[in-house]
């Protein structure tokens, strides 16, 4: 694995960090805690600045308006974007749109790209990814998928119930996973416009953390007609295509979470350098020093695990084991680091005067979303048990 970061990526990293500090973090106060939204006029204004700085959709190829980064370069830049919880959306590389762009780039035909992909790249629309279902449907176990599509002539009739579909409120289309003719082996992916008759957004589910643009929604599909040309790939390719999306998407989550863990410790460090207690600065107390050191170890470990997984993906090698290690470790690290930062800052950290309490609430989802830690532990064990991977 090559550990040297190319000079152009280093320069871009510094450019992004400066842009975040000057143009993004000052606007975090405009974020509405209750709705997870920002004023639309401000969003448009900042997004135009991002485009003018040539930082729009950094994960995409240059030919499609991005920066042409490989997976390792993307990891490095996304970890900088993650320092602000509003930055990924303003750079048009937030979940679920970023993962959906990647999937459409790989699997969509020209017609599908024209209708769904290009407006998404331009930031004109938002999208959702509908896989998770309420019990007894699919959660962390995709084999229990209940949503079903029945082929009738040149269309499919889709029926099902989904929930925790991030971004669905206001999305123009959804990427929906469903069985075909009740066959698990024929699980497929469909592109479903949200103005389709029979589709209903039941509610935006109230959650512990912030909602973000489009919330986390419960959906129903009742005899929704999906044209055959809106199938992504072919019948039965649903799970293989979902892994095209979910593997890199889990890593981009890790990259953003690492940035947020770093930001949390930066806030705590600034406080510890200036706060006097028991006759000395808080940062001079050994117990506090150990908390910072433990966080540094965990962040660096997660960073290296994430880069290793990104390197394997870049090399087109099997990265599932490495992705699960990274996702498990980084999600836990984010929670630990934010918790320590709050503890260091005391009552100020617990208050809304700092952003740490929001990071704390949002960060708790990291250990559940895109596969709970326990599922990734199972994946890691299977790799060890099969002999494919070593301790």
CATH number of 7-121: 1.10.540.10
Return the pLDDT at 140.
77
Return the pLDDT at 365.
95
Dump pLDDT digits (tens) for 309-364: 999 999 999 999 999 999 999 999 999 999 999 999 999 999 999 999 999 999 99
Judge contact between 271 and 343, C-beta under 8 A. no
Dump pLDDT digits (tens) for 177-195: 999 999 989 999 999 999 9
Q: Which residue has the tokens 């509003």?
A: 86
List, run by run, the mean pLDDT of 10-residue segments along the chain (391 residues): 82 97 96 86 97 96 93 94 96 95 96 97 96 88 90 97 95 97 94 98 93 92 98 94 88 95 98 94 97 98 95 92 97 98 97 95 94 95 93 88
Return the pLDDT at 142.
79
Return the pLDDT at 52.
97
CA separation for the pair 16, 170 (Å, rounded): 29
- Which pTM does this prediction carry? 0.93
Q: Count CA within 13 A, CB hemisphere, residue 11.
A: 4
Percent of the chain with pLDDT over 90: 89
Q: Count CA within 13 A, CB hemisphere, residue 56.
A: 18
CATH H superfamily, domain 127-236 = Butyryl-CoA Dehydrogenase, subunit A, domain 2 (2.40.110.10)
Count of all residues that appear for the chain in the document: 391
Dump pLDDT digits (tens) for 274-300: 999 999 999 999 999 999 999 999 999
Return the pLDDT at 57.
96
Judge contact between 149 and 179, C-beta under 8 A. yes
**Domains of the chain, residue spans:** 7-121, 127-236, 239-386
CA separation for the pair 329, 161 (Å, rounded): 32
Judge contact between 212 and 332, C-beta under 8 A. no
The CATH number of 239-386, from 1.20.1200.10, 1.20.140.10, 3.40.630.10, 3.40.50.300, is 1.20.140.10
Return the pLDDT at 93.
95
């Amino acid at each position: 694995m090559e550990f040297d970061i190319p000079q152009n990526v280093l320069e871009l990293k510094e450019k992004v960090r400066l842009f975040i500090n000057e143009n993004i973090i000052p606007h975090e106060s405009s974020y509405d805690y209750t709705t997870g939204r920002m004023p639309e006029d401000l969003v448009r204004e900042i997004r135009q600045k991002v485009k003018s700085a040539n930082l729009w959709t950094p994960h995409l190829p240059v030919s499609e308006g991005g920066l042409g980064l490989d997976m390792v370069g993307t990891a490095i830049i996304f970890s900088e974007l993650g320092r602000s919880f509003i930055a990924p959306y303003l750079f048009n590389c937030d979940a679920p749109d970023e993962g959906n762009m990647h999937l459409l780039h790989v699997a969509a035909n020209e017609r599908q790209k024209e209708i769904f992909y290009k407006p998404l790249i331009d930031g004109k629309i938002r999208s959702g990814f509908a896989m998770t279902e309420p019990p007894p449907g699919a959660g962390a176990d995709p084999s229990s998928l209940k949503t079903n599509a029945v082929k009738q002539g040149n269309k499919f009739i889709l029926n099902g119930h989904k929930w925790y579909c991030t971004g669905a409120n206001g999305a123009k289309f959804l990427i929906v996973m469903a069985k075909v003719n009740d066959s698990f082996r024929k699980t497929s992916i469909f592109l479903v416009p949200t103005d389709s008759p029979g589709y209903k957004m039941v509610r935006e589910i109230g959650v512990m953390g912030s909602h973000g643009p489009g919330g986390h929604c419960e959906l129903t599909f009742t005899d929704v007609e999906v044209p055959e040309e809106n199938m992504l790939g072919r019948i039965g390719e649903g799970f293989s295509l979902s892994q095209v999306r979910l593997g890199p998407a889990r890593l981009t989550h890790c990259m953003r979470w690492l940035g947020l863990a770093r930001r949390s410790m930066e806030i705590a460090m600034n406080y510890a350098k200036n706060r006097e207690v028991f006759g000395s600065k808080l940062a001079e107390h050994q117990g506090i020093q150990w908390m910072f050191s433990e966080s540094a170890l965990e962040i660096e470990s997660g960073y290296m695990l994430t880069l290793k997984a990104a390197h394997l993906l870049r090399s087109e090698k099997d990265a599932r084991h490495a992705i699960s290690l990274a996702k498990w470790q980084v999600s836990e690290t984010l929670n630990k680091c934010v918790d320590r930062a709050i503890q260091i800052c005391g009552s100020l950290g617990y208050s809304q005067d700092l952003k740490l309490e929001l990071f704390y609430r949002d960060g708790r989802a990291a250990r559940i979303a895109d596969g709970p830690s326990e599922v990734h532990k199972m994946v890691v064990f299977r790799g060890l048990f099969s002999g494919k991977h070593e301790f």
